[in-house]
């Protein structure tokens, strides 16, 4: 029971910290305030029930996966704990606001830059610059963890 309350406290803290990011992701899917709020609530509830994870990266990934499932328009990225997406998920914590959301959106859209640029209403050059910035954060993290070999 104590473990349950500890998990609940962690998730409540993360929800408060990531409230704007979660709502922005939901609005990205729903495109209206009321539906986005409902989607956020449902996704967090389902993620909490399904995910035993104890890290903020796992929390963000679980909520994003549930939003994909609830919306039905996008399929969640494949669960591959040792693969590239798993590493990117862990690196999300080193990113701030817009970059973190951009990487989540990019994963949700199955790495389709054209669809992402259309959804965000951004010119391709701006999207490329932001994704390159996010990639630099990922690469630095991989280098720190010695997961990337340099020539």
Question: pLDDT for 54-64, tens place per residue?
Answer: 677 777 778 87
Q: Is the dihedral of CA 117, 121, 125, 128 positive or negative?
A: negative
Same domain, 19 and 88: no
Q: At what angle do helices 113-120 and 97-108 cross, to 10 degrees?
A: 130
Same domain, 67 and 81: no
Same domain, 83 and 150: yes
pLDDT, greater one: 52 or 147: 52
Q: Can you give the CATH number for the domain in which 122 is found?
A: 1.10.10
Smallest CA-to-CA distance from 108 within 131, 135, 78 is with 78
Distances from the Cα of 141 to the Cαs of 4, 92, 106, 144, in angstroms? 31, 10, 18, 5
Identify the domain boundary among 74, 98, 115: 74
Q: Look up the domain containing 45 and give its range.
A: 1-74
Question: Residue with structure tokens 């328009």?
Answer: 73
Distance CA 73, CA 64 (A): 13
Contact 24, 119 (CB under 8 A): no
Same domain, 82 and 117: yes
Contact 103, 75 (CB under 8 A): no
Residue 50 pLDDT grade (very low, low, confident, very high; cuts 50, 70, 90): confident
| 77-111 pLDDT per residue, tens | 555 555 555 555 555 655 666 666 666 666 666 66
Identify the domain boundary among 49, 74, 99: 74
């Amino acid at each position: 029971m104590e473990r349950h309350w500890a998990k609940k406290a962690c998730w409540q803290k993360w929800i408060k910290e990531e409230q704007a990011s979660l709502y922005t992701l939901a609005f990205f899917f729903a495109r209206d305030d009321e539906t986005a709020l409902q989607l956020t609530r449902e996704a967090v509830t389902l993620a909490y029930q399904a995910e035993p994870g104890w890290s903020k990266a796992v929390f963000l990934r679980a909520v994003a996966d549930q939003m994909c499932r609830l919306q039905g328009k996008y399929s969640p990225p494949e669960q591959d704990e040792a693969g590239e997406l798993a590493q990117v998920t862990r690196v999300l914590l080193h990113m701030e606001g817009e970059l973190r959301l951009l990487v989540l959106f990019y994963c949700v859209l199955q790495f389709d830059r054209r669809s992402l640029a259309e959804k965000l209403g951004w010119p391709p050059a701006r999207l490329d610059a932001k994704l390159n910035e996010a990639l630099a954060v990922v690469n630095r993290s991989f280098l720190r963890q010695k997961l990337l070999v340099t020539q």
